[in-house]
């Protein structure tokens, strides 16, 4: 049931322009994914886990007191969106690969989609944590 809902959330991202999306744990283990043939979900999950780990190390070095919320990396031909989702002592990652945006409205739309995905993934992720 939980992974079915996660897959539905990811399918909605895909229907709204994302080329690939992945739910993974903090170690990069895939819980659910959608992708085009050109994308490798295992590589996406591993790279996002590595980025998140690097961000956590930066948090320690900079003596920051709050949790990571988002990582966004833009290239000319795509953007990687990554959201950190904390539930109790567990950490999950939502990664999305999106085409480049042409204006601020498109970027805000992609950001709002990621917000929606995090919000709608909370119940199944909480269920997974409770197992």
| Degrees to nearest 5, angle at CA 130 with 126 and 131 | 125
What does the pLDDT read at residue 131? 75
- Name the domain count of the chain: 1
In DSSP terms, 85 is beta-bridged to 92
List pLDDT tens digits, range 15-41: 999 999 999 999 999 999 998 788 888
Structural domain of residue 75, as residue ranges?
2-130
CATH code, domain with 46: 3.30.450.30
Q: Which residues of the chain have pLDDT under 70?
A: 1
What does the pLDDT read at residue 101? 86
């Amino acid at each position: 049931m939980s992974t079915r809902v996660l897959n539905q959330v990811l399918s909605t991202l895909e229907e709204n322009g994302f080329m690939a999306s992945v739910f993974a744990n903090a170690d990069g283990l895939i819980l659910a994914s959608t992708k085009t043939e050109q994308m490798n979900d295992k590589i996406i999950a591993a790279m996002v886990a590595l980025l998140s780990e690097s961000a956590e190390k930066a948090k320690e070095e900079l003596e920051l007191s709050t949790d990571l919320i988002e990582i966004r990396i833009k290239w000319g031909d795509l953007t990687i969106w990554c959201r950190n989702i904390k539930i109790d002592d567990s950490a999950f990652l939502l990664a999305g690969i999106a085409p480049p945006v042409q204006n601020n409205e498109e970027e805000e739309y992609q950001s709002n989609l990621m917000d929606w995905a995090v919000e709608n993934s909370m119940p199944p992720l909480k269920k997974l944590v409770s197992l």
